[in-house]
Structure 1
Amino acid sequence: MDDELRERVEAAGEAAALFNALKHGSDPDVGAIMGPLMGENPDFRPHGDEIPGVVARVVNRVADMDEAERRERLGELAPDKLAELEAEDEGDDHVLPELPNAEDGAVVMRAAPNPNGPWHVGHARMPAVIGTYKERYDGEFICRFDDTDPETKRPDLDAYDAILEDIEYLGFEADRVLKASDRLETYYDHARELIDAGGAYTCSCSGETFSALKNDAEACPHREKAAETVHEEFDAMVAGEYDAGEMVLRVRTDIEHKNPALRDWVAFRMIDTPHPREAAADYRCWPMLDFQSGVDDHLTGVTHIIRGIDLQDSAKRQRFVYDYFGWEYPEVLHWGHVQVDEYDVKLSTSTIKGLIADGELTGWDDPRAPTIRSMRRRGIRGQALVDSMTELGMSTSDVDLAMSSVYANNRDLIDDEANRYFLVRDRDDDPAV
């Protein structure tokens, strides 16, 4: 284990040990923090035999601290974790924590849906939490459609409006609505600036060839091309002169990085399938999500990002681009996946599309479908879904949403105004009586 990795392990281990000690009011335990630590940092796993020894020394230091010292230190290392503990201390396990380094009137957050279909119930969590934070901090809510994959996650032209309707149903309105497919020229301009900064190069290696080089920490033979050549080849990509898989633009990172997923990742690739939006149909050179999203977050002034714990590598990739441009990276909060009980249907847009196509569901608003449109059709208030989602908090572990909590919240909302009806059955019409 090199010094850089050891420092990262110590910092992550210390934060985990502090959180564990404060949460349980006792000295931290190595065994209790190893699971979350390795789960949240997959690049630690190849060094699993060395990690416990490093963590044990950190745990011993934390054990020697009193509670005040632990809180102060956790606030330095992981302010979001401290906020989570403080919310629990106030007697509410499900209150959204304060955002780290947030100022009233200056918080900008974004929901970034892929418009490949209307939203299922799990999608409600992001706008519910962002909308709640917007109200708390008098901030800004951006809805940015990340629709730069016209092939594998092909946009549904009806989904753009459907998603905005779902946000409105939840009780919020986006302050700005953007479509990434309208912004291709902006991404091209930043790619050219990145090339000039020595941060990108064109590569015609096959996927298999580059994967083998990457896994062996060996540089691609195209890595040291002259910037003039890279510009010419990238302009040819933009002009559509290459076929899919023939040429990509890579971000130059650290080819010997401990995490192979971060080594010289693809920023742009060629896609032959035309985009369904007429305004974007002529483009063939498309940015990968990490490049597009990273550039847009900076240009739109996003201050805080919420993303799944499984997407930690996205921030790490984007930081290479931010470093080349001298940008400050937004605050990032990670959370686990939300799982919804009651439904046998998988919470997946593609799965629900398949069930509709097969006739097993009548549409996105079928009462049996795990979709926001179904909730609306069934008479469930959007606020009931928002309340249930925010009650889940911001845990980095996977969480379960019980639909019974949505129904209970809905009853609270409609109880005072709901009409109540009674009937007396005609006994002569009911032979069973």
Structure 2
Amino acid sequence: MPTIAETNTSKDLNAVEAKIDNDSLNVINTLDTEIIASVQTQLAPVYEQYPLLTKTIWGIPFANLGAAILLFMLILLLRKAFTRIVLVLLQNFAKNSNTYYDDRVISALKEPVRFAFIVVALHVFFLLIYKETDFIVNILDTLIIYTLFWAILSVTEALRGLIYKATAQFNKDLSKEMGNFILTILKILIGGIGLGAMLKVWGVNVTALVASLGLGGLAFALAAKDTASNLFGSFALLADKSIRIGEWVKIGSVEGVVEDVGMRTTKIRSFQKSLITVPNQVVANTPIENFSRRGIRRIKMTIGLTYGTTSEQITQIIADIKSMLQNHEGIAQDESLMVNFNDFGDSSLNIFIYTFAHTANWAKYLDIREDIHLKIMKIVEENGSSFAFPSQSVYVESLPKEEKGSALSV
């Protein structure tokens, strides 16, 4: 049971806290009151000289309405001048610095600052026409908070390269993926704080709102089951380092180049240039064929020579092809290299060629393969042989004899 003295002390502390909160909240209102008093002092002689301006429209004196419009236009002119002079000067100074992050920050803040001038102009306008109702004040305060967090988000995006540089200290290969993941988390946190601040302006108890979400936690967990699976799938991809942005991969039936590894999905650009979005839980639980990490590409072919080719010619052709491949700069010499007379085909003598191109790039691989084909053709021609094509030979042992005196009857 608290004593009377403790009770009085508690009341005094509450009173002090309430006074501090009220003083903090009334700072802007005090400034507004001073602005109104100053403007009205300046308008008093105008009212005396031109009594017509004391008349009202919708309850607003003509002089106040005119002053509000003039100040609104003046602030918009200042906005234009600030954009064309101050921001340009700041950008010119930033260009002379040793880092480009200040350039990006100034460019990112350009639009939020321009919008801030409009918010100030609206605030002054409604202040002078005495129409700052609670609803309008809430809207203006919401716009101020929106502009502030818009600026914070823009600066965060402008520092993307700095975040990549920081994540590269932990893992250079996955710096972009980890950086994108961290940026997404930061943006969600900043957006959540901004939304909470705007809700508080409208009298919403954010703490109670968050606490009430716990009542529907089970339903939310069930509804967000797939989202949680995708989130943990993204963690698994980052930990396993199985894919990176820019790599050519095949995941199930999806094949293409990885464009983005997000918190929920992985975006793959197919070779038909369509964008395929795959949930991360599918990517994490499906075998991934990563073509970009193989380093080499296989060359496998069978060439068919005509049956008129002699055994000496085939032996020499095989030796020449093997020698050509062993001395070719585009062939991986430390990998398997086989050239063998494979079998007797239906219409050709088949030579089997199996080797690897020393590149993973598709365009370079095609160039190497083309060069090998041309050199094989030259080797076959120089050895007096030729390539076979599907054909059939029909042997006729005898033709039917014509019978004398036979006639064709119809």
TM-score band, normalised by shorter chain = under 0.3
With normalisation by structure 1, the TM-score equals 0.21
With normalisation by structure 2, the TM-score equals 0.22
More helix by share: 2
Larger radius of gyration: 2
